[in-house]
Structure 1
Amino acid sequence: MDNQFPQNTSNKILIESLSDVERAAFYRKTYAHVAGGVLTFILFEYLLLQSETIVEFMLSMTEGYKWLLMLGGFMLATRYAESLAMKTTDKNTQYLGYGIYIFFQALIFVPLIFIAAFYMESGGEILYQAAIVTLGLFTGLSAVVLMTKSDFSFLKTGLTIGFFIAIGLIIAGTIFGFSLGLWFSVAMCLLAGGSILYQTSNLVKTYGVDDYIPAALGLFASLMLLFWYVLSIFMSRD
């Protein structure tokens, strides 16, 4: 999870050293960019779903070992995008990294959203409900941290272990052909929620006053992880 934070904070004016008014301005910029990321994600998703070639290719990549290849490519692409946004102060490069990250998130969501929207009886309703629940949870968790000013940095070790276990289970499930099931999705929602708490509480300790784009990328990543598994839970009920 360390890759989700700027690598050099020695020359930054950290948020924790600012006044409440200046912190509020940073938070507004950060969450405005998260909201912008969500809107851009919706746009990318809509455009990708218009291409029959892309949809068929992405659906074919969900079969067997191809899904592991897809996940590996996704992780490499998003890691590169994160490095663009996190390791520079140039705003154009940061926006480029954020945009690339959003695009690949939209790309990997294509099979899940296509199946929900076009193969399930109440697909539109499922997508709407999952989106509302996800945004509600994200807003609530963020508000808890920002209003109480609680420190959730202690979650880092548990989240790191949890993500490694999750990756191992996904690989094992693909290799041996077993379904991870509903409870895995529930556990991943809890993991995503913990990531939101952790990242939100670390805004003031990690980021500089001009790091609202990298901060937004980190929160957006946790939001998308939560949405994936909330949507998976809703689809399992249909």
Structure 2
Amino acid sequence: MAYNDSHIARHDSRGAVNDVRANKVLRNTYALLAMTLLFSALTAGAAMMMGVQQMNILIFFVGAYGLMFLVHKTANSAMGLLATFAFTGFMGFTLGPILSAYLSLPNGPAIIMNALAMTGLTFLGLSAVALMTKKDFGFLSNFLFAGAIVLILAMVAGLIFQIPALMLMVSAGFVLFSSAMILFQTSEIVHRAGETNYILATVTLYVSIYNLFISLLSLLGIMSND
């Protein structure tokens, strides 16, 4: 009996420690995420004010993946924060030309506002599901891995063949993929003791929100014939 009581006590203690750790990582993640989203909005506005009309796709991929690599290499140091803001600032800057293009359309402002609202509500809703239900969404890992491969191949095919129906499917696929990633990453923070780096968690959620917004923007534009 004494052994069982001691074992239960240690188990409860570890559970309490994990809860404290998860809450701390969540607070840091959401705080940094809010700051990076605001910084991205500022850099997007700067790109629009500068009149940037188009982002070279090679520059985009080199900048995005290069800075993401830098974030992962420096995530355990103070440089990780600077790398995170550099990455999210660059991603925000790439939004400038896209937003400018939409604003030139008759329904552009409404499309942008609707995409923003839907992105925000989706993120808040999915985060609430993961946090309030305490359900472990770790089972999504295999789905996300397979989905990422399929989406990358479909995106490349869409860029090569310029098939509207395929691009529509890619956008819808990214909406589902990004939503699943938000659930998965939030669940990892809550349930996985190894997910303690709030910088990496922030970048993962940021990329999911970015892809979700771009995909919704595309879908709403197609639905409104723009």
| TM-score, normalised via structure 1 length | 0.79
SS in structure 1 of the partner of residue 136 of structure 2: coil
Moved more, 176-185 or 189-198: 176-185
Deviation at 1:75, TM superposition (A): 4.3
Aligned-residue offset at 1:57: 4.2
Which residue in 1 is equivalent to 2:115?
Answer: 130
Structure 1: which 5+ residue stretches go unaligned?
1-14, 62-66
- Answering whether residue 141 of structure 2 is matched by residue 148 of structure 1, we say no
Deviation at 1:120, TM superposition (A): 1.1
Question: Are 1:192 and 2:192 an aligned pair?
Answer: no
The residue type equivalent to 1:231 in the other structure is: L
Structure 1 segments, 4+ long, off by >6 Å, are: none
Identity %: 28
**Contact 1:84-1:97 within 8 A present in 2 as well:** no
The residue identity in structure 2 corresponding to 1:36 is M
Counterparts of residues 31-180 of structure 1 (less than 5 Å): 31-52=30-51, 55-58=52-55, 61=56, 67=57, 69-70=58-59, 72-86=61-75, 88=76, 90-91=77-78, 93-117=79-103, 119-179=104-164, 180=166
When Rg is computed on C-alpha atoms for both structures, the one with the higher figure is 2
Structure 1 residues 95-132: Cα deviation after superposition (integer angstroms, max 9, x where no partner): 11111110221133233212112x21122221111111
Contact kept? 2:67, 2:87, Cα under 8 Å: yes
Matched-pair contact (CA < 8 Å) for 1:45–1:106: yes
With over 3 angstroms needed to count, the CA separation of the structure-2 counterparts of 1:233 and 1:106, relative to structure 1, is same
1:222 maps to what in 2? 208
Contact 1:30 1:213 in 2 (8 A): yes
- Normalised to the residue count of structure 2, the TM-score between the two structures is 0.82
Letter in 2 for 1:56: Q
Once the two structures are superposed, residues 66-101 of structure 1 have per-residue CA deviations (whole angstroms, 9 ceiling, x without a partner) of x4x345324422432332443x2x23x111111111
Aligned equivalents of 2:84, 2:169: Cα separation in 1: 31
Structure with more relative contact order (C-alpha pairs < 8 Å, separation 6 or more)? 1
Give the CA RMSD over aligned residues: 2.2
Structure 2 Cα separation of the partners of residues 85 and 200 of structure 1: 22
For the 8 Å contact 1:94–1:214, the answer to whether it is kept is: no
